[in-house]
Amino acid sequence: MELLQKNRCFDGEQRIYRFNSQTLKGDSRFAVYLSPQALEGEACPALFYLAGLTCTEETFAIKAHAQGMAAQLGLILIMPDTSPRGDYVAQGDHWDIGQGAGFYINATQAPWAEHYQMESFIVDELYELVLQQFPVQQNRVGIFGHSMGGHGALTLAFKYPDKFKSVSAFAPICAPTQCPWGEKAFSTYLGNDQALWAQHDAVALVGEKGALFNEILIDQGLDDQFYSQLNPALFQQVCVQVGQTLTLREHAGYDHGYYFIQSFMDDHLQFHAVQLES
C-alpha cells in the first residue's frame, strides 16, 4: 500500500493510497479521511462512500465538504474508486459503462469479468485492508453513496448487513433493473438473465430481505436532471411493504450534483454517527 498524497485537513488527514488489488487484478486507488482522533490512533467508526458515474476516489474528498463534520464526529471516511482502471482494463463506449462505471457488482461476462469485480473488491479486499491499516471499530462501519454509488450502498448494505451497520444515500439509483443506466450496466456486466439482475437491485433486495436497519436516510433533489433513472418512489413503496423505516427527504430546487450533496452532508454524517452508536 503506497501513500500518494496526504494533506492536513480539520486537524485530521486527507490521504490517497494506491495498492495492487488481487480482486481487480491491477492497481487501485482509494482516498481516506482520518479524523484527528483516528490520527492519534483512537479506534473510530468508519464510513465507506461509494461515488457515482464518472467519479474517482478523489471526487468526494474535494467536492462533498464532509471533512469538517467528520472531524467533529471522529469518523474515518473511506472513498474507493468507481471501477478498475488502466490501459489493460476494458473500456466502455460511453461514460455510463466501463471505467468510472463499475456499478459495485461482480461482472460475469467477457471482457468485463477479468477486472470488474467491484462488489468483492469493496466488501472483501478493501474492507479487510481498511480494518488492518486504520484504527476502525469493527462493529461500527457504515456505508453511503451517491447515484450509482447510492445503488451500491443500498445493495451492499442489504447483502452484507453483518459488515455495514448503517446506510444512507444521495439520489440513489433505487431500481437499476427498471432504468436505462441499470439495464445497460446489468446486461453488459451480467448478461441477459434478469433473475441475476434482481440480486443487485435495491428495491428487489429489500423486498426479499425485509427490514434490516433501524432507519435508512435518503436525500433526493426534485430538480435532479436524472430523476427518471432513480425511482425513489419504488424504494419508498417496498420499504413500507416490509416495514423498513425510511426517511426520504425530497428537496425542491436541488439537482444531482455535489452542490446538492454538500448541502446535506452534515445530516448524513450525523445520521450515521447516531446509527453506529446504537
Q: Are 226 and 196 in contact (CB under 8 A)?
A: no
Task: Assign 159 to helix, strand or coil.
Answer: helix
Lay out the site mask for its own copies across 42-81 (x = CB under 8 A, - = otherwise).
--------------------xx-x-xx-------------
Which of 126, 258, 269, 272 binds its own copies (CB under 8 A)? It is 258
Least separation in angstroms between residue 230's CB and its own copies is: 17
Q: Are 76 and 44 in contact (CB under 8 A)?
A: yes
Least separation in angstroms between residue 10's CB and its own copies is: 5
Helices (DSSP H) in 27-147: which residue ranges? 36-39, 59-63, 67-73, 118-120, 127-133
Complex with its own copies: residue 61 or 276, whichever CB lies closer: 61
Rule CB under 8 A: say whether 253 interacts with its own copies.
yes
Catalytic entry in 83, 147, 166, 168? 147
Which of 202, 90, 208 is CA-nearest to residue 145?
A: 202
Task: Assign 278 to helix, strand or coil.
Answer: coil
Question: Can you read off the three cell numbers belonging to residue 184?
Answer: 445497460
Rule CB under 8 A: say whether 187 interacts with its own copies.
no
Output the CA–CA distances (angstroms, integers) from residue 120 to 24, 102, 103, 128, 214, in the order listed.
9, 12, 12, 11, 25
Rule CB under 8 A: say whether 26 interacts with its own copies.
no
Question: Can you read off the three cell numbers belonging to residue 78?
Answer: 473511506
Rule CB under 8 A: say whether 221 interacts with its own copies.
yes
Residues making contact with its own copies (CB under 8 A): 7-11, 14, 62-63, 65, 67-68, 221, 223, 251, 253-255, 257-260, 262-263, 266
Q: Catalytic residues, which ones?
A: 147, 224, 256
